[in-house]
Chain A
Amino acid sequence: MKRIPQALLLPALLILLVGLGYPVGWQLVTSLQEYGLAQQFGRPAPFVGFANYLELASDPTLWAVVIRSIVFCVVTATLTLVVGMALALLMMAVGRIPRLILQIALLLAWAMPVVAAMTVWIWLFDRRRGVINYLLDLIPGVDMNRFNWLEQPSTFFIVASIIVIWMSVPFVAFSAYAGLTQVSEEVLEAAQLDGASGWQRLKNVILPMIRPVIMIVFLLQLIWDLRVFTQITMLQDAGSKSGAFDLLGTYIYKLGTRAQDFGMASAVSILVLAITIALSWFYVRSLMKEEEA
């Protein structure tokens, strides 16, 4: 009956192939074509080889977006991890009731639909009536009345980053907490008896033990934050749609669906796929090594 596990894998594999393989395949083909609105309405699409890619390679706008996206994704994912870890340690340290409250709060943040959460966030940062400006303005010597967070790319991305972190911290916190509960009491006790301080125990005992969890969570965060889309689009709706506020996700959407250049948009998508694989490669390899060990 060795075949049963294999047979059980088959549906998942099929779904992956159809659900993922088809769009990726279509994208690969389209990225080699000149594919605009006329082709969308049925005219034949001429193959242009790597012309789309060559045009992209020499486009400074694209590289600006790529660099911006990578910086955004690394900074946001790192901060998410730090905050999430801190919350997980807090959950370990506090008693049952505060922990429960914390967990429910995190769950609620995690369960909130993106569009609803974004609407509230945009209100919070509103130029005229936002609570954030109101509170900051109360601090003596700080003039934040009518400060427009979404007017400059720098503050725009700070706001975006805060929102993305808020949305993904619960996942990191719960995963890390689950990992922390698996660290055995005896080991910690032994370390304590050997005279290790709290910080030393965290650095030399706990963190190495939950390293696999942290690694995989960080990898997922990196990938999610690289392809972040909804949050940026909604902030752009509230602020500006101009190019300086684009990350890869919104850049592709603008190029393809809005400006109707599907060939070029596909080429950028393939590039993002390549970046994602490159980013994850190192991690996947070290994860596999750890599994073998």
Chain B
Amino acid sequence: MTRKKTLGLMAVATASALILAGCSTTEPAEAGGTDITLWLMGGDTPDELRDYLATEYADATGGTLTIEEQSWGDAIAKLTTALPDAENTPDVVEIGNTWSPTFTNAGAFSDLSDMYEELGGDKLLDSFVEVGTVDGAHYALPYYFGSRYVFYRKDIWAAAGKEVPETLEEFNATVADLASDTQSGFYIGGEDWRNAISWVFANDGELAVKEGDEWVSTLSDPNTIEGLEQFQALFQNASNAPVTEADSTPWVNINNNESTGAPESATIIAPGWAHWSIGDLAPDPEDDTKTVATWNDDVFGVFPLPGKDGGAAPVFAGGSNIAISAASQNQDAARELLKIIFSEEYQQMLGENGLGPGNTDYVSALGDDQFAQALIDSAVASKLTPAAPGWAAVEGSGLLEEFFGKVAAGGDIEALAAEYDEQITPLLAG
């Protein structure tokens, strides 16, 4: 090798070493402040609230708060790998409420018991506090709650002479009547178990229960089976959605389709904040490649999914908990951020943006319009998935999507339930 070539190679090696080193350099912290990272799940927390947190945190500590958004779909995988790693863990992290038992039991979070009272104590939403508690110690606290309710097309319902149903049975019959080959009466994907479990819960069924010390999958329970039978009939008679569809963007199905001028479906179920995306479509004045939806009370309406004997059905309680990573090297700074999140002002802001505040004292901030009313009514009756240590593994395994998809496709419910009970029970222990 000639000398020139060797020198060239060395130059390349040095350059790449420099570039690589550049990647890992962290910016020097501002004097006095501790920089921390907050992971938020999906786009549920609006920008206004994010800016508020960053500003308040800087004012309170002099440090910088970096907010990183994680998509719901990959979150379990990312949390599993990042949380144990002191070098890369986020300091404060939002987690889906149903995953709280899993990560709390695994020891992912710091004990917050000593500041529990300061952050709201008894006022914090019970069911959410419970999933973040192990042996009486509090690790993950409620961040916000959401709920699902029904959005329907008043125009289509009125044309068919249908009224808002009082019971779940009436609802099932009504949407089946509204269905045609080109339009669903009620749009629900076959694998959309998070919505389908409302029918299981409404019939007093459970996905899993604790028998003694052991968690057992209870898909074969007679009540669960009854709910599953209703879901199967509903999917077959009222929905044109594919069997393989799970959680999607439900509002596209109730807004008018641009090419046909009619919606995909007369009725959908969606998280409360979906109402921002539902309405009459018009071109966005700021960006003509997009459209904006304006809610129209003459065409669109909402009501909580009715229960078996009237009232509201127990739908899946959406929402998140928030916790400090046990591996975080900035425990004190992270606690400062929690104080800001549980402050009156921030809790009010959550409510004003349609997110149920973790501190129930501020629920009135949700307002008293029809959306707030439907949210509160459905949230009161709502229900969480089992608090089993292995629940996140059950969700991650995709078995529930698979099971509900096969039920929706018209499978033999009892045989499927027995088969999937056997697969899910071992995962529940964690």
Q: Would B398 and A241 count as touching, CB distance under 8 A?
A: yes
The size bracket of the interface on B is 20 to 34
Stretch of B154-162, B238-246, B352-360 that contacts chain A? B238-246
Question: Cβ of B60 < 8 Å from any Cβ of A?
Answer: no
Contact check: which of A36, A38, A242, A255 meets B402 at CB < 8 Å? Answer: A242
Q: Would A258 and B76 count as touching, CB distance under 8 A?
A: yes
Contact check: which of A242, A255, A257, A261 meets B405 at CB < 8 Å? Answer: A242
Q: Would B77 and A240 count as touching, CB distance under 8 A?
A: no
Sample of 21 A–B contacts (CB below 8 Å): A36-B430, A37-B106, A37-B392, A37-B393, A38-B106, A40-B80, A40-B81, A41-B84, A41-B108, A42-B107, A150-B242, A237-B73, A239-B244, A240-B401, A243-B398, A243-B402, A254-B396, A257-B76, A258-B398, A259-B393, A260-B393
> In the bound complex, how far is the Cα of B427 from the Cα of A171, in angstroms?
43
Chain A nearest CB: distance from B149 CB in Å? 25
Which residues of chain A are within 8 angstroms of B242 by Cβ–Cβ distance? 127, 148, 150-151
Q: Would B401 and A242 count as touching, CB distance under 8 A?
A: yes
Q: Which residues of B contact A (CB under 8 A)?
A: 1, 73, 76-77, 80-81, 83-84, 102-103, 105-108, 191, 242-246, 326, 392-394, 396-399, 401-402, 405-406, 427, 430
> In the bound complex, how far is the Cα of B405 from the Cα of A152, in angstroms?
12
Q: Would B106 and A41 count as touching, CB distance under 8 A?
A: yes
Chain B nearest CB: distance from A146 CB in Å? 9
Which residues of chain A are within 8 angstroms of B107 by Cβ–Cβ distance? 38, 41-43
Which residues of chain B are within 8 angstroms of A258 by Cβ–Cβ distance? 76-77, 393, 396-398
Which residues of chain A are within 8 angstroms of B83 by Cβ–Cβ distance? 41
Closest 10 CB pairs of A and B: A258-B396, A240-B244, A242-B402, A257-B77, A259-B397, A241-B398, A37-B106, A259-B393, A259-B396, A41-B107
Q: Would A242 and B244 count as touching, CB distance under 8 A?
A: yes
Q: Would A37 and B401 count as touching, CB distance under 8 A?
A: no
Which residues of chain B are within 8 angstroms of A148 by Cβ–Cβ distance? 242, 244
Which residues of chain A are within 8 angstroms of B427 by Cβ–Cβ distance? 259
> In the bound complex, how far is the Cα of B401 from the Cα of A244, in angstroms?
11
Chain B nearest CB: distance from A33 CB in Å? 16
> In the bound complex, how far is the Cα of B396 from the Cα of A177, in angstroms?
45
Give residues of chain A (224-245) contacting chain B, Cβ–Cβ below 8 Å: 237, 239-244
> In the bound complex, how far is the Cα of B242 from the Cα of A222, in angstroms?
33
Query: Which secondary structure characterizes the binding site on chain A?
Result: loop
Q: Would B84 and A40 count as touching, CB distance under 8 A?
A: yes
Chain A nearest CB: distance from B263 CB in Å? 13
Query: Which secondary structure characterizes the binding site on chain B?
Result: helix
Give residues of chain A (266-290) contacting chain B, Cβ–Cβ below 8 Å: none
> In the bound complex, how far is the Cα of B390 from the Cα of A37, in angstroms?
9
- With A151-B242, A242-B191 known as contacts, the answer to whether A37 contacts B80 (CB < 8 A) is yes
> In the bound complex, how far is the Cα of B394 from the Cα of A258, in angstroms?
9
Q: Would B106 and A40 count as touching, CB distance under 8 A?
A: yes
Which residues of chain A are within 8 angstroms of B84 by Cβ–Cβ distance? 40-42
Chain A nearest CB: distance from B355 CB in Å? 26
Chain B nearest CB: distance from A199 CB in Å? 45
Q: Would A260 and B392 count as touching, CB distance under 8 A?
A: yes
Contact check: which of B245, B397, B405 meets A254 at CB < 8 Å? Answer: B397
Among residues of B, the one whose C-beta sits closest to the C-beta of A242 is: B402
Which residues of chain A are within 8 angstroms of B191 by Cβ–Cβ distance? 240-242
Chain A nearest CB: distance from B242 CB in Å? 5
Among residues of B, the one whose C-beta sits closest to the C-beta of A239 is: B244
Chain B nearest CB: distance from A254 CB in Å? 6
Q: Would A151 and B81 count as touching, CB distance under 8 A?
A: no
Chain A nearest CB: distance from B315 CB in Å? 22
> In the bound complex, how far is the Cα of B77 from the Cα of A43, in angstroms?
19
> In the bound complex, how far is the Cα of B397 from the Cα of A241, in angstroms?
9
> In the bound complex, how far is the Cα of B326 from the Cα of A43, in angstroms?
14
Q: Would B77 and A241 count as touching, CB distance under 8 A?
A: no
- With A148-B244, A151-B242, A242-B405 known as contacts, the answer to whether A37 contacts B102 (CB < 8 A) is yes
Which residues of chain A are within 8 angstroms of B1 by Cβ–Cβ distance? 4
Binary CB contact string for chain A from 29 to 41 against chain B (1 if under 8 A, 0 otherwise):
0000000111011
Report which residue of A37, A42, A148, A151 has the largest number of chain B beta carbons within 10 angstroms of its beta carbon.
A37
- With A243-B398, A254-B397 known as contacts, the answer to whether A150 contacts B244 (CB < 8 A) is yes
Report which residue of A150, A242, A244, A261 has the largest number of chain B beta carbons within 10 angstroms of its beta carbon.
A242
Give residues of chain A (200-259) contacting chain B, Cβ–Cβ below 8 Å: 237, 239-244, 253-255, 257-259
Give residues of chain A (138-176) contacting chain B, Cβ–Cβ below 8 Å: 148, 150-151
Give residues of chain A (17-61) contacting chain B, Cβ–Cβ below 8 Å: 36-38, 40-43
Q: Would A240 and B81 count as touching, CB distance under 8 A?
A: no
Chain B nearest CB: distance from A133 CB in Å? 13
> In the bound complex, how far is the Cα of B246 from the Cα of A244, in angstroms?
15
Chain A nearest CB: distance from B389 CB in Å? 9
> In the bound complex, how far is the Cα of B83 from the Cα of A38, in angstroms?
12
Which residues of chain A are within 8 angstroms of B245 by Cβ–Cβ distance? 240
Among residues of A, the one whose C-beta sits closest to the C-beta of B257 is: A128
Q: Would A260 and B396 count as touching, CB distance under 8 A?
A: yes
Q: Would A37 and B397 count as touching, CB distance under 8 A?
A: no
Which residues of chain B are within 8 angstroms of A243 by Cβ–Cβ distance? 398-399, 402
> In the bound complex, how far is the Cα of B73 from the Cα of A151, in angstroms?
20
Among residues of A, the one whose C-beta sits closest to the C-beta of B392 is: A260
Known: A237-B73, A260-B76. 7 other contacts (CB 8 A): A37-B393, A240-B244, A241-B402, A243-B402, A253-B77, A255-B397, A259-B393
Q: Would B244 and A151 count as touching, CB distance under 8 A?
A: yes
Report which residue of B105, B191, B397 has the largest number of chain A beta carbons within 10 angstroms of its beta carbon.
B397
Which residues of chain B are within 8 angstroms of A37 by Cβ–Cβ distance? 80, 102-103, 106, 392-393, 430
Among residues of B, the one whose C-beta sits closest to the C-beta of A37 is: B106
Which residues of chain A are within 8 angstroms of B394 by Cβ–Cβ distance? 259
Chain A nearest CB: distance from B176 CB in Å? 21
> In the bound complex, how far is the Cα of B158 from the Cα of A188, in angstroms?
79
> In the bound complex, how far is the Cα of B80 from the Cα of A38, in angstroms?
10
> In the bound complex, how far is the Cα of B243 from the Cα of A151, in angstroms?
7
> In the bound complex, how far is the Cα of B371 from the Cα of A188, in angstroms?
79
Chain A nearest CB: distance from B356 CB in Å? 28
